[in-house]
């Protein structure tokens, strides 16, 4: 019998308090970045704000308020804007992959094409974390502004160059990601297929293996890309 005991569909979940740090453009919020294999969803719990997104189709800003649900697919550069104590429950596809590096910040291109320079710019030290998180946020906003301006001017070349650089940056980790996916989302899908096969044959034995799971946050207030995070350790990650 195929089993999977992680969260439904092997999603990842966290609670996010979006940064209220003001940037050079006068907006408060998080660090622009892009996922290469994972869709991401937001359920707004409190406050107000917006999420700025950039794709080859252009730039958009989606308002966020309590009760709002929005999501986007891989390749969407996103930047959260905090207008009033914005708090979000974040749902991530492929639980474990975002934490394993499936997020590339929109740093200036010279940092993206040098893996050592990129790592130095995005890695947070054990001490002085807030100042380091603020520095990397502002550096990513600098790169994001360049990409947005070019895209809005009708020139997709800088954005496509960012895509290529991001792909090259994460390529050494693909086999590790594939293993995480096999034990996460792929395992969850296989379990559903097994259940369907059994039910089609009149076999309900898998129902006898039902289990219940609960978690409290394993970490509180971690410095993330978009804000302070409460995170959970769950199976399948």
Per-residue pLDDT of the chain (237 residues; tens, 9 = 90+): 888 999 999 999 999 999 999 999 999 999 999 999 999 999 999 999 999 999 999 999 999 999 999 999 999 999 999 999 999 999 999 988 988 899 999 999 999 999 999 999 999 998 779 999 999 999 999 999 999 999 999 999 999 999 999 999 999 999 999 999 999 999 999 999 999 999 999 999 999 999 999 999 999 999 999 999 999 988 766
Identify the residue whose tokens are 């893996």: 115
Q: Check if the beta carbon of residue 13 is closer than 8 Å to that of residue 42.
A: no
Q: Check if the beta carbon of residue 84 is closer than 8 Å to that of residue 27.
A: no
What whole-number distance in Å separates Cα of residue 211 and Cα of residue 208?
9
The pTM of the full predicted model, rounded to 2 decimals, is 0.94
Tell me how far CA of residue 101 lies from CA of 2, 123, 155, in angstroms.
28, 11, 28
Quote the pLDDT of residue 237. Answer: 60
Quote the pLDDT of residue 111. Answer: 94
Count of C-beta atoms within a 10 Å radius of residue 113: 15
8-231 placed in CATH 2.40.10.10 = no
Quote the pLDDT of residue 29. Answer: 98
Q: 234: which 2 tokens? A: 């769950």
Q: Check if the beta carbon of residue 223 is closer than 8 Å to that of residue 19.
A: no
119 three-state secondary structure: helix
Identify the residue whose tokens are 């550069």: 77
Phi, psi (degrees; rounded to nearest 5) at 160: -65, -35
pLDDT tens for residues 122-177? Answer: 999 987 799 999 999 999 999 999 999 999 999 999 999 999 999 999 999 999 99
> Which residues have a Cβ under 8 Å from the Cβ of 63 and sit 6 or more positions away?
48, 49, 50
């Amino acid at each position: 019998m195929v089993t999977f005991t992680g969260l439904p569909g092997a999603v990842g979940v966290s609670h996010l308090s979006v940064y209220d740090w003001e940037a050079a453009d006068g907006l408060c919020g998080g660090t622009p970045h892009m996922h290469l294999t994972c869709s991401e969803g937001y359920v707004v719990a409190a406050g107000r704000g917006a999420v700025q997104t950039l794709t080859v189709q252009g730039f958009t800003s989606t308002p966020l308020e309590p009760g709002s649900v929005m999501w986007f697919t891989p390749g969407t550069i996103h930047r959260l804007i905090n207008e009033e104590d914005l708090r979000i429950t974040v749902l991530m596809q492929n639980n474990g992959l975002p934490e394993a590096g499936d997020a590339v910040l929109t740093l200036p291109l010279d940092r993206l094409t040098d893996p050592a320079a990129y790592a130095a710019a995005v890695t947070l030290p054990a001490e002085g974390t807030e100042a380091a998180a603020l520095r990397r946020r502002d550096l990513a906003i600098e790169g994001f502004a360049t990409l947005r301006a070019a895209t809005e001017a009708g020139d997709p070349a800088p954005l496509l160059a960012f895509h290529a650089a991001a792909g090259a940056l994460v390529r050494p980790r693909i086999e590790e990601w594939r293993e995480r996916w096999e034990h996460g989302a792929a395992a969850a899908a296989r379990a559903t297929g097994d259940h369907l096969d059994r039910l089609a044959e009149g076999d309900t034995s898998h129902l006898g293996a039902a289990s219940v799971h609960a978690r409290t946050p394993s970490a509180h207030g971690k410095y993330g890309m978009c804000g302070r995070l409460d995170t959970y350790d769950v199976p399948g990650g």
